[in-house]
Amino acid sequence: MRTSCCRGIVTGLIALALVGTMAGKLRAQVLGWPLQNFTGNTCGWTALSGVSFSYDPTKDDTGNGGGSARFTLDYVGTNSNILDVSVNNVDCCYCDLEALLNTSNYVSLDFDVKWDGTSGVPLSYFNSDGGGVQIYLGNGYSGIPIASFTIPDAATNGWVHVSAPFFTNEGSNSFSGISLFKNYTGNGDGTATFWLDNVSLVGRTTNHFTVSPVSTAGGVFTLKWNSVPNYTYSVQRTTDTVTWTNLVTAYPPGGATGTTTSYTDSNSPSGHALYRVSSP
């Protein structure tokens, strides 16, 4: 179990002075979004019949008193089975995130995994039978596939960190949760068991997010910034650095289409004002 200091998504804010054209520059990033650290329970996670999972306080990769989730798959028979477990970041009563997310803000699903070396089913069979574990948005294969992974051989000797990068063609999709899905065939060797911990989404990072003035004339002010395709932004304005006014949110509609985006304030105040841009 690793603790997380932040809830939700945090990005850098970029300020620009209207008078003097002082372009602010700051590293902007989207922080990781924890789905479950398994500190006391497995709240938010569900599994179909045939897969047993539970909170295990005896297994933790940091030794700080937390726990993990223990998954056991039944390989006793020779029938086809499925691994289908889901976590819902809207209804998770423990992590209490309660937010609809968007894939354009993230690059991978990361977690720690440990394989039970006493399992009757070897890890090599688990990985090869039916291919890797698929990651879907929503519930099982009825959702959108966004990534896949296999459990590293080193997980038979202890905890291993795994990063499953999102497919480059996954696009921008809203989601309330993810599923781990895999078809597998019983081989008569009993069960396969592994543990998961610290399951989280890793955010995109954009360095040196810069806002620049374009023009100031007749009460109209235009600014531009380097953007990320599919991202949306908010633009705010202040004249006293205390009270900020939202000029536009979720801009541009549908997300940026290129690496530069601009916005025009057609009613900019006389004197001076400060603008800032943030995402999301």
Of the chain, the percentage scoring pLDDT greater than 70 comes to 74
Considering the domain architecture, whether residues 23 and 99 belong to the same structural domain is answered as no
Q: Would 8 be classed as within a structural domain?
A: no
pLDDT band at 213 (very low <50, low <70, confident <90, very high): low
Considering the domain architecture, whether residues 177 and 50 belong to the same structural domain is answered as yes
- Give CA–CA dist 214/15, Å, rounded: 14
Q: Which domain holds residue 190?
A: 33-203
Q: Would 195 be classed as within a structural domain?
A: yes
**pLDDT score at 32:** 63
Considering the domain architecture, whether residues 20 and 81 belong to the same structural domain is answered as no
Give the tens place of pLDDT for each residue, 118-146.
Answer: 999 999 999 998 889 999 987 656 678 99
Considering the domain architecture, whether residues 77 and 197 belong to the same structural domain is answered as yes
Considering the domain architecture, whether residues 137 and 232 belong to the same structural domain is answered as no
CA distance from start to end of the chain: 28
**pLDDT score at 126:** 92
Domain boundary at 180, 203, 226, which?
Answer: 203
pLDDT band at 184 (very low <50, low <70, confident <90, very high): confident
pLDDT band at 90 (very low <50, low <70, confident <90, very high): low
Give the tens place of pLDDT for each residue, 148-181.
Answer: 999 999 999 999 999 999 997 777 888 878 889 9
**pLDDT score at 278:** 80
For residues 272-277, give the mean pLDDT.
Answer: 77
Considering the domain architecture, whether residues 186 and 257 belong to the same structural domain is answered as no
**pLDDT score at 207:** 46
Q: Would 194 be classed as within a structural domain?
A: yes
For residues 96-114, give the mean pLDDT.
Answer: 78
Asked if residue 8 has pLDDT above 60, the reply is no
Considering the domain architecture, whether residues 138 and 79 belong to the same structural domain is answered as yes
Q: Would 105 be classed as within a structural domain?
A: yes
Q: Would 80 be classed as within a structural domain?
A: yes
Residues written for the chain: 280
Considering the domain architecture, whether residues 166 and 234 belong to the same structural domain is answered as no
For residues 194-215, give the mean pLDDT.
Answer: 72
Tell me the CA distances in angstroms from 51 to 20, 82, 110, 127, 220, one per residue in order. Answer: 63, 8, 21, 16, 61
Q: Would 9 be classed as within a structural domain?
A: no
Considering the domain architecture, whether residues 113 and 141 belong to the same structural domain is answered as yes
Considering the domain architecture, whether residues 151 and 261 belong to the same structural domain is answered as no
Considering the domain architecture, whether residues 136 and 150 belong to the same structural domain is answered as yes
Asked if residue 31 has pLDDT above 60, the reply is no
Say which CATH number the domain at 252 has.
2.60.40
Q: Would 7 be classed as within a structural domain?
A: no
Number of domains in the chain: 2
**pLDDT score at 1:** 39
Domain boundary at 203, 220, 239, which?
Answer: 203
Domain boundary at 143, 172, 203, which?
Answer: 203
**Residue-by-residue DSSP string for 38-94:** -SS--TTEEE-TTEEEEEETT--SS-SS--EEEEEEE-SSSSEEEEEEEEETTT-TT
Mean per-residue pLDDT of the chain: 76
**pLDDT score at 132:** 92
Q: Would 21 be classed as within a structural domain?
A: yes
Comparing 29 with 219, the larger pLDDT belongs to 219
For residues 235-257, give the mean pLDDT.
Answer: 85
pLDDT band at 49 (very low <50, low <70, confident <90, very high): low
Give the tens place of pLDDT for each residue, 13-30.
Answer: 333 333 222 233 222 334
Considering the domain architecture, whether residues 49 and 168 belong to the same structural domain is answered as yes
**pLDDT score at 34:** 75
Closest of 121, 95, 112 to residue 59, by C-alpha = 112
Of the chain, the percentage scoring pLDDT greater than 90 comes to 25
- Give CA–CA dist 56/69, Å, rounded: 6
**pLDDT score at 63:** 61
Say which CATH number the domain at 153 has.
2.60.120.260
Asked if residue 280 has pLDDT above 90, the reply is no
